[in-house]
Amino acid sequence: MKYGLEDKPPPLAFLLYGLQWWVISVPCVIILGVIIARLHYPDLGSQVFYLQKLFALTGLAVLAQLFFGHRLPLVVGPAVILLVGITASVSSGVPALYTALLVGGLVLALVAAGDFLRYLQALFVPRIVAVILLLIAVTLAPTILKVSLDNGSHSAFHLAFSFGLVLIMVVLNQVLPGVWKSLTVFLGLAGGSLVYFLLSGFPDPVAYSVPETVGLLLPSLDFQAGAVVAFLFCFLALTINELGSIESVGHMLKVDDIRGRVRRGVTVCGVANMLAGAVGVVGTVSFSMSVGLIAATRCAARLTLVPAAFGLIACAFFPDVVLLLSRIPGAVMGALLLYIMAAQLASGLILLVSEHGASDFASGLTVGLPVMAAIVIVFTPAQVFTELPAFIRPIAGNGFIVGTLLALFLEHVLFRKASR
């Protein structure tokens, strides 16, 4: 490494590395932030304010992890798994969704602070982790399709544009050297938006205002048992993501006290999600893609993320910049989400192969049946689940939860002897 974990590069290099982390972090916030903001609010003012809060929260989460949590150079951004929970339980209403998010963050913080994570880790063997990676990808397929079609106007053009942009991003990831690979999503976001507007016309300037009903904090708490249970399952997957990210970078850099870093990092992640629930935005998690960036730049100095964190917080105070970002075309957003989920699907398949996770019929069925069940559920018409009791709906109608429960049952109950 050119710069170690506790090193501080010279001022110019320090700022350039910080700018690099910021450029990589911004698309992470925009992609999920715009999708969820449009899901919740029809008016532009509320969407912009949602993104402002999300930028500020993400920047604060980065600082908290750098100084109080895992203290590692890790990108922090909105958690894709929470998008799964939000889309599956959106009918519960915004207060119920973010109350459940707050509760999930509280439970996660208490579990980590109490050093109970080892009991969860025993359940999530490599095959289950791989299944969860596959489930997250497949259960977001309807959301990707909805976002790409962009409200149904010129649907064929939008879908073709999304798939074309994905293929271009795959080519870029293959041909770009070193650190430039980590900018693939950013280049797809900027270049895809520019090409889209050149083909279909640039949007007209619009006036907007934040409604008085939208505030900094969640207007009220709404405890709905079904939504809370659904989000607790999502937090199981979020915990795996956080653990994997911390351990991958920690082992790469050969840091000391990895167990303590995991405990502190997951605790801070839980607190950050509590805060996210309190202000009504999606929660955050650490991203494992940081390993590739560190390897490409040979810079592991954690303090270089400080300028990136302040840059994210600064975005929250420039609503016109956020407004510009919020007007990214749906076809571009759908392409970016499709690319990210394809990469996650690839990660799950690689894990299955490397850990021999599907070496016989029983282990193959432990992978295949949960994934197929999840696909069937996410494409089942919503009215089918209205016949179920209100408590069951957010769970039975969530393909990710059903798939996870089925995988755990097959792995640890039905095929337990075969697995051993």
Q: What is the 3-state secondary structure (H, E, C) of the chain?
A: CCECCCCCCCHHHHHHHHHHHHHHHHHHHHHHHHHHHHHHCCCHHHHHHHHHHHHHHHHHHHHHHHHCCCCCCCEEEECHHHHHHHHHCHHHCHHHHHHHHHHHHHHHHHHHHCCCHHHHHHHCCHHHHHHHHHHHHHHCHHHHHHHHHHHHCCHHHHHHHHHHHHHHHHHHHHHCCHHHHHHHHHHHHHHHHHHHHHHHCCCCCCCCCCCCCCCCCCCCCCCCHHHHHHHHHHHHHHHHHHHHHHHHHHHHHCCCCHHHHHHHHHHHHHHHHHHHHHHCCCCEEEECCHHHHHHHHCECCHHHHHHHHHHHHHHCCCHHHHHHHHCCCHHHHHHHHHHHHHHHHHHHHHHHHHCCCCCCHHHHHHHHHHHHHHHHHHCCCHHHHCCCCCCCHHHHCCHHHHHHHHHHHHHHHHCHHHHC
pLDDT of the residue at 359: 85
Report the alpha-carbon distance of residue 139 to residue 128 in Å, rounded: 16
Instruction: Establish if 293 belongs to a structural domain.
Output: yes
Q: Say yes or no to pLDDT of 419 above 60.
A: no
Q: Any idea which of 102-116, 311-325, 404-418 has the lowest mean pLDDT?
A: 404-418
pLDDT band at 185 (very low <50, low <70, confident <90, very high): confident
Report the alpha-carbon distance of residue 310 to residue 402 in Å, rounded: 39
The single residue listed with the structure tokens 């490599």 is 126
Angle formed by the axes of helices 184-200 and 155-175, nearest 10°: 150
Give the residue, 354 or 177, on which the prediction is more confident.
354
Task: Give 53-94 pLDDT, tens digit per residue.
Answer: 999 999 999 999 999 999 999 999 999 889 988 988 888 889
Task: Give 376-402 pLDDT, tens digit per residue.
Answer: 998 888 788 877 887 787 788 888 889
Give the residue, 121 or 99, on which the prediction is more confident.
99
What does the pLDDT average to over 352-375? 90
Task: Give 302-352 pLDDT, tens digit per residue.
Answer: 999 999 999 999 999 998 888 888 788 889 988 988 988 888 888 889 888
pLDDT of the residue at 161: 93
Report the alpha-carbon distance of residue 144 to residue 159 in Å, rounded: 10
pLDDT of the residue at 265: 95
Q: Which of 83-87, 147-151, 282-286, 293-297 has the highest mean pLDDT?
A: 282-286
Instruction: Establish if 4 belongs to a structural domain.
Output: no
Angle formed by the axes of helices 94-113 and 225-253, nearest 10°: 50
Ramachandran assignment for 178, one of left (phi > 0), alpha (psi -120 to 50 degrees), beta (any other) = left
Instruction: Establish if 53 belongs to a structural domain.
Output: yes
* Phi, then psi, of 390 in degrees rounded to 5: -60, -35
Portion of the chain with pLDDT greater than 70, in percent: 98
pLDDT of the residue at 304: 93
The dihedral over CA atoms of 343, 87, 122, 117, expressed in degrees to the nearest 10, equals 110
The single residue listed with the structure tokens 């050149």 is 198
pLDDT of the residue at 287: 86
In angstroms, what is the C-alpha Rg of the chain?
21
* Phi, then psi, of 284 in degrees rounded to 5: -115, 165
What does the pLDDT average to over 242-268? 89
Owning domain of residue 402: 11-419
Instruction: Establish if 6 belongs to a structural domain.
Output: no
Which one-letter amino acid corresponds to residue 25? S
Give the residue, 258 or 391, on which the prediction is more confident.
258
- Per the CB < 8 A criterion, the answer to whether 288 and 6 are in contact is no
Instruction: Establish if 163 belongs to a structural domain.
Output: yes
Q: Say yes or no to pLDDT of 150 above 80.
A: no
Q: Say yes or no to pLDDT of 207 above 80.
A: no
β 75-78/284-287 pair status:
antiparallel
Cβ neighbours of residue 253 under 8 Å, at least 6 residues apart?
1, 4, 5, 72, 294, 300
The single residue listed with the structure tokens 């840091």 is 255
pLDDT band at 173 (very low <50, low <70, confident <90, very high): confident
pLDDT band at 418 (very low <50, low <70, confident <90, very high): low
Instruction: Establish if 21 belongs to a structural domain.
Output: yes
- Going by C-alpha positions, the residue among 43, 38, 34, 61 that lies closest to residue 305 is 61
Instruction: Establish if 147 belongs to a structural domain.
Output: yes
Portion of the chain with pLDDT greater than 90, in percent: 38
Whole-model pTM?
A: 0.86
Q: Say yes or no to pLDDT of 420 above 70.
A: no
pLDDT band at 247 (very low <50, low <70, confident <90, very high): confident
Domain count, the chain: 1
Instruction: Establish if 55 belongs to a structural domain.
Output: yes
pLDDT of the residue at 262: 92
Q: Which of 77-86, 97-106, 253-262, 398-407 has the highest mean pLDDT?
A: 97-106
What is the residue-averaged pLDDT of the chain? 88
Task: Give 114-143 pLDDT, tens digit per residue.
Answer: 888 888 777 878 888 889 889 888 888 888
Cβ neighbours of residue 368 under 8 Å, at least 6 residues apart?
none
Task: Give 214-231 pLDDT, tens digit per residue.
Answer: 778 888 899 998 889 989
pLDDT of the residue at 62: 96
